[in-house]
Chain A
Amino acid sequence: QSALTQPASVSGSPGQSITISCTGTSSDVGDYNYVSWYQHHPGKAPKLLVYDVSNRPSGVSIRFSGSKSGNTASLTISGLRAEDEADYYCSSYTSRSTSYVFGTGTKVTVL
């Protein structure tokens, strides 16, 4: 399974909004709405931020929002805060081998 493509790093100042892209193919992101986004601080368990493209689990801040257009999904973090500094991963179901794939990961830096 080939990993979904994310930018290696994205940065922004406190209060700004940033968007992380996640590019796949018609076998995964493009054809299925099983796209999720995770926040991962090293040494901790990943935290689910968005699932099914744009749904937020209970307790996740409304500052995190997801969307999709064609083969590319996006996560927008609005009102950037220092505690948002972490690694972010997208993921998707893929019809290739009926399996699951993560993105390459994006390191978010708050300037």
Chain B
Amino acid sequence: QVQLVESGGGVVQPGMSLRLSCATSGFTLSNYGMHWVRQAPGKGLEWVAVIWANGINKNYADSVRGRFTISRDTSQNTVYLQMNSLRVEDTAVYFCARDISSWSPGFWGQGTLVTVSS
């Protein structure tokens, strides 16, 4: 069955970097688009980024473009989110999710918490 397990969260200071990982199993990563979505404390869901099934096209939310980079390693069945120049407002639980149809994140992990604080 489809499984997604996020890791890499933690507490960092503003301006620092962090790399999140999403280990996948139960499907072929190169066949599906993969998203990162976050939820700040007390707030709603916010879409962060997507890497298309072709592994080439990538899109980002305005709030993270230029600071975050999504990538994947199909040999490791893992999707990454490299987060640079972190800000206090990036504090959130970060979920990875797999499309079940175009632009339809259908399978989700349990999330990993990122706290940006001085």
Contacts and interface: CB of A to CB of B under 8 A. Distances in A.
A57 B106 contact: yes
Interface string B79-118: 0000000000000000101001111111111110000000
A44 B109 CA distance: 9
Is the contact region of chain A dominated by helix, strand, or loop, or is it mixed?
A: strand
Interface in A52-111: 52, 55, 57, 87, 89, 91-93, 97-105
Given A44-B110, A51-B100, A102 B105 contact: no
Given A102-B45, A102-B47, A97 B59 contact: yes
B45 A100 contact: no
Interface in A1-59: 1, 3, 32, 34, 36, 38, 40, 44-48, 51-52, 55, 57
B50 to A, nearest CB: 7
Contact of A34 (B44, B103, B106): B103
A6 B111 CA distance: 24
A70 to B, nearest CB: 20
Nearest to B45: A102
B45 to A, nearest CB: 4
Interface residues of B, number: 25
Contacts of B61: 1, 99
Given A40-B45, A99-B59, A104-B44, A93 B95 contact: no
Contact of B108 (A3, A34, A46): A46
Interface string B21-53: 000000000000001010000001111001000
27 contacts: A1-B61, A36-B105, A40-B45, A45-B108, A45-B109, A46-B37, A46-B95, A46-B108, A47-B108, A48-B104, A48-B105, A48-B107, A51-B104, A51-B106, A57-B100, A87-B44, A89-B44, A91-B47, A91-B105, A92-B103, A98-B59, A99-B47, A100-B47, A102-B37, A102-B46, A102-B47, A105-B45
Interface of A: 1, 3, 32, 34, 36, 38, 40, 44-48, 51-52, 55, 57, 87, 89, 91-93, 97-105
